[in-house]
Structure 1
Amino acid sequence: MNVRRNSVAAVVVTALASVVTVLMAAVGAANYASYRAHGRGALRVALITEADQLAVGLALPVWNIDRAQIDRVLAAEEAHRSVFAVRLEAAGKSHTRVRDGAWRLVATTSPFPTEGLLEEERDVTFSGEKVGSFKIYATPRFLEEDLSRIFRTIVVSIAAVDVLLVFFLYLLLRRAVLKPLEDIERFATAVSSDEGGPAPAISLSKGAARELASLHSSIEAMVRLLDQRYEAVRASEKKYRDIIDFAPIGVVKARPDGTII
């Protein structure tokens, strides 16, 4: 039964690529989580700042019940792309603006979904007197889009590093390990062949690992020693046969019990 064995290069490259992938994925996940937390925190701070500024900007027009100016102040929030909606309650009337399909902040009287939105509520005061209140909503839509781009960048970066790592590791292992092993294998095949005579010398490729070069030298030394011993055995056998063949008297080979062989 033939057992399928994996290549040294495949094992080493797979192991190193797996370790690098896991490490890069861990670092990428940590950076992603950090950016997400920082982004949501920054969005919350920006919304708080915008709510404070809007409360100041609405104070005078709400006090004067200047509906046109109130609408202009609310419409100006369109410049802040993360602001999704504003709802003002003042002088017995509600002023609401919400993003439409073209992402314009338009006036509406219809309710709108607030799930997933960040919300800040402020009182509108003038000379210390409350004259109205409003809620401003921010969407994490653009933050999520940025996070999605970051996630894709992390995945592509890991894939690119893996491809480059596999490519250069294979080249390195091919030069330092695989090619020298093939040279040693050819040398061993030549030694084990039945052609007779000394095995041809096979030099290792340039760049072979020191351990493989040492192994190759040891194998060559062992083969030379075996050749020498084999030649010594052949010479001894020839000498023995010559003694038998050219002896002036008969020679009989027998067992200890006298049985002739």
Structure 2
Amino acid sequence: MRLSPRLARSLSLHTKLMLALVVLVALVVGTSSYSLVEHERERRLVELEERATRIADLYSRSLAQPLWNVDRGAIDSQLAALAPNPEVAEFTVTAANYGTVSSVKGAPHPDPGDSVVRIRSIEFDPPGAAPLEKIGEIRVVLTKAVAEQAFGRARRVILATMATVLAALYAATFILLKRMVRSPINRLEEMVDRIAGGDLDARCVVESGDELGRLATRVNVMADRLRESTACLRESERKYRSIVENSLEGIFLLDRSGRLNEANAAMAQLLGYDTATELIEAWTHDPDRRPFSPSQTERLFDILNTHGKIAGLELQLHRLDGKPIWAQLNARGVADGAGAPRSLEGLLTDVTVRKRAQENLRRHRDQLELEVGERKRTELELLASREQLRELSAHLEAAREEERKRIAMEIHDELGQLLTALKMDVSLLKMHLADDSVAMRKAAEMRELVEKTIQIVRHVSSHLRPAALNFGLASALEWLAEDFSRHAQIPCYFHMEGAEPSFADPRATAIFRIVQESLTNVARHAGASRVDVTLVSTEAGIELSIRDDGRGFDIAAARAGYSYGLQGMAERARLIDASLHIQSEPDCGSVVRLCVQDDFVTSR
């Protein structure tokens, strides 16, 4: 049984339960009764068939002798013995070659065709060892009508009994459900309606511990939580309203037509209105006074459709008095049922002061960029001039070294030759003078003067251009160490590790001058008792170090004091693409280290 949806909705729970119970009991009882009746019917029919088989077998044996003797009386008496049975429809005895001998019919029935038929042969057993001889047959017909009528009456009785039981059960169940289910449910409905109507203090009475009682308990728990949620919601609404009303930023709700549906006091003050209500109603009286122009509204919703939100958008608005202002807008969309943004809720911040400051900063930045560009151009010119000065300095240094070399060669070759010739002439002159004469003494003095002049010439020539440079850097540094020890009275030792390097003449001269300047500084300022000059040649290049055990000095103070000796050494190192490092601390001595890469070194 299936009710229509409309009828099912109109029925109460009590009626639905009763209908379900009636249908369930009817199905169970009817199915059980039908099964029992059908089972009994099948059993009775099987017994009827077995009875017909037994009767046929009995008559086939008992009628053999009377049929052999053709004793009709005996045959009729045996058939008549079972004929009164209401289930007997027909007994017929047929003799072989004679036809029907006897036939007995029972009471007529409505459906004589619905019967059980059994036919058995009647055989005579002659005396002796003769075989059995078929002398006729017995036909037994039993009707099923009696059993069917009995089962029909039983069905009617069962249906009547079932109807009575269902009626009694329906009445009892109706009363019990009304008292145990319907009344508590009605009371639950009443309490739920009161809670839904806003009476959050209403509570259901828990009358039992069954499902309805547990449901009442859950309804009470729901009411408690609903009251707490409502209190929290009201508190949240109060806080939200307080935040909106006291916010320093304008808060608004804008629809697609450009109408403001909601706004706070800060929004009204930002646009020059006294109250938010006046701002919202201004659009109704004069559409031209809307806070956002139609193009601005369309642009806002286009951005919202594209990005899903608006963040940090700056736009220009106009106050009620027509004064333009700049505002920064942050907003999100409020979607309709189809998911498209139907309105826009956001925050509006006045950034007019910041915008003006940015404009001022932009102007200052542009001006600063112009000044920086001019300064960079000037710096580039200064760098170019400094590079030119360095090139000129390098050229002058090379020319000076070349001039020193030329002067040293001329002094050594020409002046040296003249002084040597003069010395020889003085020696020849002494040979022609008397030993104790005044002229002899004067010639001896002249010869000493010539000797001193030759030594001075050699000294000047060596300082202008050491002749040892012609034999390599190592020889020149060794000579320089010996010369320093002789003149400065400070022991100076030269050490060389690895193969002797070979440099071009300008580079070798620059290295020699750096070492010479370092030794000069040691002699003037260090107060050292020992100096070591070490030349180390490796695959990466050479490393030349000048180490003393003097008093040391403050490098930063020396550079700040414009030490021309250090500057000259650094400039010479730069000109030959070498790196110069100076390490020194007061009372700890000094180390000057010069490193030249192997691109400029050729080992001998």
Under a length normalisation based on structure 1, what TM-score does the superposition of the two structures give? 0.67
Amino acid of the structure 1 residue aligned with 2:178: R
Give the Cα separation in 2 of the matches to 1:207 and 1:145.
53
Report the residue type matching 1:85 in the other structure: E
Matched with 1:8 is 13
SS at match of 2:102: strand
Task: Report how far residue 142 of structure 1 moved.
Answer: 1.6
Question: How many angstroms apart in 2 are the aligned matches of 1:204 and 1:167?
Answer: 27
Closer/same/farther in 2, CA of residues 212 and 172 from structure 1, 3 Å limit: farther
| Contact in 2 for aligned 1:198/1:227 (Cα 8 Å) | no
The amino acid of 2:143's aligned partner reads T
Q: Is the 8 A contact 2:200 2:224 kept in 1?
A: no
Q: 2:140 matched to which residue of 1?
A: 136
| Aligned counterpart in structure 1 of residue 34 of structure 2, from 22, 29, 36 | 29
Distance 1:171 1:140, change over 3 A: same
- Correspondence 1:56-75 to 2 at 5 A: 56-75=61-80
CA RMSD of aligned residues (A): 4.0
**Runs of at least 5 residues in structure 2 that lack an aligned partner in the other structure:** 1-5, 126-131, 236-264, 278-604
Aligned residue among 98, 104, 107 for 1:97: 104
The aligned counterpart of 1:126 is 124
Distance 1:190 1:48, change over 3 A: same
Give the structure, 1 or 2, with the largest relative contact order (CA under 8 Å, sep 6 or more): 1
1:1-261 map, 5 Å:
5-90=10-95, 92=98, 93-100=100-107, 115-127=113-125, 128-187=132-191, 203=205, 209-215=212-218, 217-218=220-221, 221=224, 256=269, 259=274
Task: Spell out, residue by residue over 1:73-129, the C-alpha distance to the aligned partner (whole angstroms, 9 max, x if none).
Answer: 11111243311111112373532111245x9xxxxxxxxx95222111122223233
Q: Which residue of 2 aligns with 1:107?
A: none
Name the SS for the 1:28 alignment partner. Answer: helix
For residue 68 of structure 1, what is the amino acid of its counterpart? G
* Aligned-pair identity (%): 21
Given that 2:18 and 2:174 are in contact with CA atoms closer than 8 Å, whether structure 1 keeps it comes out as yes
> Structure 1 pair 175/212, CA: closer, same or farther in 2 (3 Å)?
farther
Distance in 2 (CA, whole Å) between partners of 1:191 and 1:21 is 41
**Larger CA Rg, structure 1 vs 2:** 2
Matched letter for residue 101 of structure 2:
S
Cα deviations across residues 135-156 of structure 1 (Å, max 9, x unaligned)?
1100001211232133234434
**Which residue number corresponds to residue 536 of structure 2?**
none
Matched residue SS, 1:213: helix
Deviation of 1:184 after TM superposition, in Å, equals 3.0
Residues 201 and 19 (structure 1), Cα distance of their counterparts in 2 relative to 1, 3 Å cut: closer
User: 1 CA distance for matches of 2:65 and 2:136?
Assistant: 11
| Bigger strand fraction | 2
| CA positional deviation for 1:173 | 2.5
- Helix, strand or coil at the partner of 1:75: helix
Q: 1:44 to 1:192 in 2, by over 3 A?
A: closer
Report if aligned partners of 1:175, 1:207 keep a CA contact under 8 Å in 2: no
Mark the CA change 1:218 to 1:167 in structure 2 (over 3 Å): closer, same or farther.
Answer: farther
Query: Distance between the aligned counterparts of 1:123 and 1:181, measured in 2?
Result: 78
What number of residue pairs does the alignment pair up?
Answer: 230
* Cα distance change, pair 25–89 in 1 and its aligned pair in 2 (3 A): same
Give 3-state SS (helix, strand or coil) of 2:114's partner. Answer: coil
Deviation at 1:14, TM superposition (A): 1.9
C-alpha distance in structure 2 between counterparts of 1:71 and 1:177, whole Å: 74
Whole-angstrom CA distance in 2 between matches of 1:182 and 1:227:
26
Question: 2 CA distance for matches of 1:114 and 1:169?
Answer: 48
1:8 and 1:79 mapped to 2: Cα distance? 60
Cα 1:10–1:77 change in 2 (3 A) is same
- The alpha-carbon distance between structure 1 residues 207 and 171, as it changes in their structure 2 partners (threshold 3 A), is farther
CA contact (8 A) 2:195 2:201 kept: yes
State the alpha-carbon separation in 2 of the partners of residues 172 and 212 from structure 1: 19
How far, CA to CA, are the matches of 1:69 and 1:207 in structure 2?
83
